[in-house]
Amino acid sequence: MRLGGAARFVIEIEEDKDLAEAYHFADEKKLPVYVIGGGSNIIGRDGGYNGVILVNKLHGIYVIDSDEDTIRLCAKSGELLDDFVDYSVKLFDGEQFGFSGIEALSKIPGTVGAAPVQNVGAYGQDIAQTLHHVCVYDYKDNCFKKMMASELNLGYRRSIFNTGDGVGRYFITSVTVELHKHWMKPPFYNSLQAYFDERNITEFSPAVVREAVSAIRASKLPDPKEYASSGSFFKNVYLNEEEAEAARAKDIPVWDGGKVPCGWLIEHAGLKGKEFYGMRVSDKAALVLINESAKSYADLAKARQAVIDAVYEKFGMTLEQEPMELGDE
């Protein structure tokens, strides 16, 4: 969002062994620690961060092993997720080019290490579907650990890393996924299927899916290099069965699992393209807030409230923010 104050200390982590020293430094100064990958899902508050920011610079991508149906790939957590996807769709194992499981996550900004934190997802895939395990530095127990995907309580935009006691406890150092040798099959996520149908595409190699997702994202989402945003600013709303029935009766779209797309709610509250306190509701995708001219977190907070209030007034549903926040107001 390109907002917020300065951090007191910043340490770049280039090797796993830097971590113990960095946490020790923070302990000695009695300061809190915060981990940053690409910073694309973090909003800085105006007062700055009186603590130690660890910036992830761990690099490397490796093939671990494979069998008849699957291949395991590991990426150090500072790699860009999109580079990891690119690697997976181009990989040749002597028989086949391209492995399936993360190709629909193409062009999600940020690092591999942040992917399990909110279980990133797009176009019908999320990292939970292929995540095998992560390696972490556990600040509480002061040691490195391997944690299997089943231990991470992965859900919609949720994991042990962003909820409960796990918040701030772990630095994820690497992520291992188990990809498939068989490719994705139709039916695909609506907009992806429409893309294939319009172009009569019938072969769905991971590279083809990656290309399609990249093209759809480029047409729908503001380019993060050009526009300051955090991607989806609000989370989709999930309704129970009773609420879903009531919503459908009012012609509100409710998808599988009671999901109401927050972009639809914002657009139908008449906010698409509107600007509040220097923050614009994207005219391409209403769930994205773009920083046009806001100078402070305080402006963002007022704009956020204006959107939440308008949606609540129209539909009686309360939107929740997706990005994390950091620092003092």
Ligand X SMILES: Cc1cc2nc3c(=O)[nH]c(=O)nc-3n(C[C@H](O)[C@H](O)[C@H](O)COP(=O)(O)OP(=O)(O)OC[C@H]3O[C@@H](n4cnc5c(N)ncnc54)[C@H](O)[C@@H]3O)c2cc1C
233 binds ligand X (CB under 6 A): no
Number of residues that bind ligand X (CB under 6 A): 34
Report whether 121 contacts 110 (CB < 8 A). no
Task: Tell me which stretch binds ligand X (CB under 6 A): 39-47, 176-184, 257-265, 269-277.
Answer: 39-47
88, 130, 159, 230: which one binds ligand X (CB under 6 A) = 230
| Beta carbon of residue 111, minimum distance to ligand X (angstroms, whole number) | 4
| Catalytic annotation present for 219 | no
Give the dihedral of Cα atoms 58, 37, 128, 238; nearest 10 deg.
180
CA angle 25, 26, 27 (to 5 degrees): 90
State the binding string over 102-141 for ligand X (x if CB under 6 A, else -). Answer: ------xxxx-xxx-xx-xxx-------------------
Report whether 232 contacts 265 (CB < 8 A). no
Report 161-180 residues binding ligand X (CB under 6 A).
161, 170-172
Q: Which tokens hold the place of 73? A: 């790939």
Helices of type H across the chain: 18-29, 81-90, 190-198, 206-220, 241-249, 262-268, 297-315
Report whether 136 contacts 173 (CB < 8 A). yes
23 or 315, CB closer to ligand X? 23
211 or 243, CB closer to ligand X? 211
d(CA 119, CA 295): 30
Task: Tell me which stretch binds ligand X (CB under 6 A): 45-53, 230-238, 262-270, 273-281.
Answer: 230-238
| Beta carbon of residue 221, minimum distance to ligand X (angstroms, whole number) | 5
| DSSP class per residue in 275-288 | EETTEEE-SS-TTE
| Beta carbon of residue 55, minimum distance to ligand X (angstroms, whole number) | 9
Would you call the peptide bond into 109 cis, given omega within 30 degrees of 0 as the criterion?
A: no
Q: What is the enclosing helix (H) or strand (E) of 220?
A: helix 206-220
Q: Which of 211, 243, 267, 322 is an active site residue?
A: 322
Active site residues: 157, 232, 322
Please report, as ranges, the residues that interact with ligand X according to CB under 6 A. 34-42, 56, 77, 108-111, 113-115, 117-118, 120-122, 161, 170-172, 221, 224, 229-232, 324
